[in-house]
């Protein structure tokens, strides 16, 4: 069987009601208009402040109003296994709504697949943050997450983190892959860049201070990592006219 590709694009839907299922997760994020959906036994609408999460294999039906547009992500199950534990309909706060607008702008301009992948992974992480009480996550993984979130500005080793979780480094890495589909180092990178984006958006700190807040003593190293993660420099997110700015990654 061929692997399911990652797809992230802009779509519109007509008024005709359609019903189907697919073997990948799907995120439907609002840009304009409204989409009426039934996901399994749950009914709801995707509109300005609410998105939909469709788990792989779940029956769903939908019909759109005139003039609708959505950012839609088709996500391989292995890339984001935790999505199936999130609600079918999820409220979007202002921070995530800004990021959806950022995604829209990037899709309209046409970005590389690598950049889109990083953007999507970050969005999934942001959605998971808003619903931290996801059932089923291993308490040792959660303990490691909490500790990492509190030490974004400090050097961190896998051995040090494993002690926090009362696991061997190998066991901890395996559990992170199982529950979060990423290694502890990748998680740290994502969290650091998310924090960098938030600090850039607030506009209160210099980029040098932001770099230090997320574990980089070198501004050049921080800027290089940020650019590789998003395809754009930190200054881009400070520029005029970029109201919808996006989150980021972490240090190597």
Q: Within a domain: residue 1?
A: no
Residues 6+ apart with CB under 8 A from 246: 98, 99, 102, 103, 106, 119, 122, 197, 230, 237
Residue 206 in this model has a pLDDT that exceeds 80: yes
pLDDT, tens digit (0-9, with 9 covering 90-100), for 52-61: 999 988 999 9
Q: Is the pTM of this model over 0.85?
A: no
Residue 120 in this model has a pLDDT that exceeds 80: no
**Could you give the number of structural domains in the chain?**
2
> Whole domain around residue 200: which residue ranges?
138-252
Q: Within a domain: residue 241?
A: yes
> What confidence score (pLDDT) does residue 240 get?
36
Give the 3-state DSSP-derived string for 83-129, with helices as H, strands as E and coil as C: HHHCCCEEECCHHHHHHHHHHHHHHHHCCCHHHHHHHHHHHHHHHHH
> Quick one: 109 and 175 in the same domain?
no
> Quick one: 107 and 30 in the same domain?
yes
3-class DSSP assignment, residue 64 = strand
pLDDT, tens digit (0-9, with 9 covering 90-100), for 74-116: 888 877 777 777 888 988 887 778 778 878 887 888 766 666 6
Structure tokens at 103: 């995604």
> What confidence score (pLDDT) does residue 17 get?
72
Cα atoms in the 13 Å half-sphere on the side-chain side of 147:
18
Nearest to 251 by CA among 180, 163, 192, 176: 192
> Quick one: 124 and 182 in the same domain?
no
How is 192-220 classified by DSSP, letter by letter?
HHHHHHHHHHH--S-HHHHHHHTT-S-HH
The position carrying tokens 């759109």 is 64
CB 27 within 8 A of CB 51: yes
Nearest to 131 by CA among 85, 168, 187, 76: 85
> Quick one: 170 and 85 in the same domain?
no
Q: Which residue among 111, 130, 149 closes a domain?
A: 130
Q: Within a domain: residue 211?
A: yes
Residue 21 in this model has a pLDDT that exceeds 80: yes
């Amino acid at each position: 069987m061929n692997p399911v590709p990652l797809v992230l694009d802009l779509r519109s839907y007509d008024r005709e009601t359609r019903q189907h299922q697919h073997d990948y997760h799907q995120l439907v994020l609002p840009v304009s208009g409204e989409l009426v959906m039934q996901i399994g036994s749950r009914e709801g609408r995707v509109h300005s402040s609410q998105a939909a999460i469709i788990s792989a294999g779940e029956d769903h039906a939908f019909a759109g109003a005139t003039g609708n547009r959505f950012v839609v992500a088709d996500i391989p199950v292995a890339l984001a296994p935790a999505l199936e534990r999130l609600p079918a309909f999820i409220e979007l706060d202002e921070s995530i709504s800004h990021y959806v607008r950022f995604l829209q702008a990037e899709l309209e301009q046409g970005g590389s697949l690598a950049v889109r992948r990083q953007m999507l992974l970050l969005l999934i992480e942001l959605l998971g943050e808003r619903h931290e009480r996801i059932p089923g996550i291993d308490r040792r993984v959660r303990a490691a997450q909490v500790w990492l979130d509190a030490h974004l500005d400090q050097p961190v080793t896998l051995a040090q983190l494993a002690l926090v979780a009362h696991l061997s480094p190998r066991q901890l890495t395996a559990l992170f892959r199982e529950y979060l589909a990423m290694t502890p180092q990748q998680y740290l990178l994502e969290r650091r860049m998310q924090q960098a984006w938030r600090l850039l958006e607030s506009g209160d700190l210099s980029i040098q201070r932001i770099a230090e807040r997320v574990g980089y003593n070198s501004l050049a190293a921080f800027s290089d990592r940020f650019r590789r993660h998003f395809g754009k420099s930190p200054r881009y997110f400070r520029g005029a006219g970029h109201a919808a700015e996006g989150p980021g990654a972490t240090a190597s």
